[in-house]
Amino acid sequence: MDVQIRPEPGAAGARARQRISGRAVLLSLGVLLANIVVNGLIFLFFRDSTLHPLLTAVLAVLWGVLGVYLIYYTLTWAVEQYPDHVRSKVLPYVFVGPAVLILGWLLILPALRTLYLSFFNASSEKFVGLSNYAAIFSDRLMATALRNNLLWVFVGTLACVCFGLLIAILADRSSYERIAKSIIFMPMAISFVAAGVIWKFVYYYQPGDEQIGLLNAIVTYFGGEPQAWTSMLQPWNNFFLIIILIWMQTGFAMVIFSAAIKGVPEDIMEAARVDGASEVKIFFGIMIPYISTTILTVTTTIIVFTLKIFDVVMVMTGGQYDTEVVATQFYRQFFMYRNFGYGSTLAIVLLIAVLPVILINLRQFRKQGGF
């Protein structure tokens, strides 16, 4: 007698549900295409619009908020039409995909185009190979800019990290911790341009006895001679500009270090004190090794700021008086002299200088389980 085994209805239904239907694929592609077409038409409308600028701005903000919401809502709805095993794999890309596309459009494509332009002459018509890269290391102004960038990197970063760590240690032991940290952190709320304007009045110099600059007013009050701090005193004027970076970024370093120090186990430090270790030994032997990854992260972050410093130098001196940095030289070559080949080369050199620091940061985040 033959026995015929029939599949269980539950198993057959599960396998049927695991199949990707053509309707789901077409539906998801249609939703994606509809989003592209609709948002593209809205973009063209705003680009060619003759509406009042204020109304255009309001509508653009609404489009930005509602448009992003509708994109994610419609794409999520389309993905939910797939079986569970496909949905779990596709859904993360729905949330990350638009951001990656925007970053690619705004960062990767311009970087590739800049790299392409760096191999051409000033008018981007004649291919010159690596001539622009060779010219960077033979240009006197570029030598000055590179030297100044190194000053910003070493002096600015070292001072920010040291002062930030010192203030974090002292503030954590003070009864006025919140007030002290708020005052030190306050410059972080100011843009680099605004900070440059503020310090321009601090360093302001005018011939004669009457000085409205704060620093020169103090100097003349004690019987000294007023100085043109950012112009005449070369190369010390670069250090006066670096002070602005220290004033702004020390608060950032202090907040990060303070949070890391609070995470150091108290029982370890108490055990060290019982064994007779001084506070200095505890600081260098326990605290510093425990927060070493935080110190590296803060250091690399500030190095990125210093490598691409532009605003402060442009506001304070405009790159004159031997205060030129790579970013200001790039701006001058590309936008003022219209030397697109050489300007693009400077941008690529700056990108190459920043990339290793960013990779170190990403490696640290990976070790800490950040991603």
d(CA 319, CA 272): 51
Q: What is the structure's pLDDT at 5?
A: 46
Q: Is 165 helix (H, G, I), strand (E, B) or coil?
A: helix
pTM, whole model, 2 decimals?
0.76
d(CA 67, CA 38): 10
Count Cα atoms within 13 angstroms, Cβ side, for 294.
Answer: 20
Of the listed ranges 6-10, 167-171, 273-277, the least confidently predicted one is 6-10
Q: For 286-336, what is each residue's pLDDT tens digit? A: 888 888 888 988 998 899 889 888 989 998 988 888 888 988 988 888 888
The one-character DSSP state at 333 is I
Question: Would the pLDDT of 8 be above 70?
Answer: no
Question: Taking the alpha carbons of 339, 342, 344, 350 in that order, is the dihedral positive or negative?
Answer: negative
d(CA 226, CA 229): 9
| HEC secondary structure over 218-282 | HHHHCCCCCCCCCCCCCCHHHHHHHHHHHHHHHHHHHHHHHHHHHCCCHHHHHHHHHCCCCHHHH
pLDDT band at 245 (very low <50, low <70, confident <90, very high): very high
Question: Would the pLDDT of 225 be above 70?
Answer: yes
Angle at 21 between CA 19 and CA 23, to 5 degrees: 165
Strand (E) positions, the chain?
none
Which whole number is the average pLDDT over 358-367?
A: 77
Q: Is 328 helix (H, G, I), strand (E, B) or coil?
A: helix
Q: What is the structure's pLDDT at 239?
A: 92
Query: Per the structure block, which two tokens stand in for 226?
Result: 């007023």
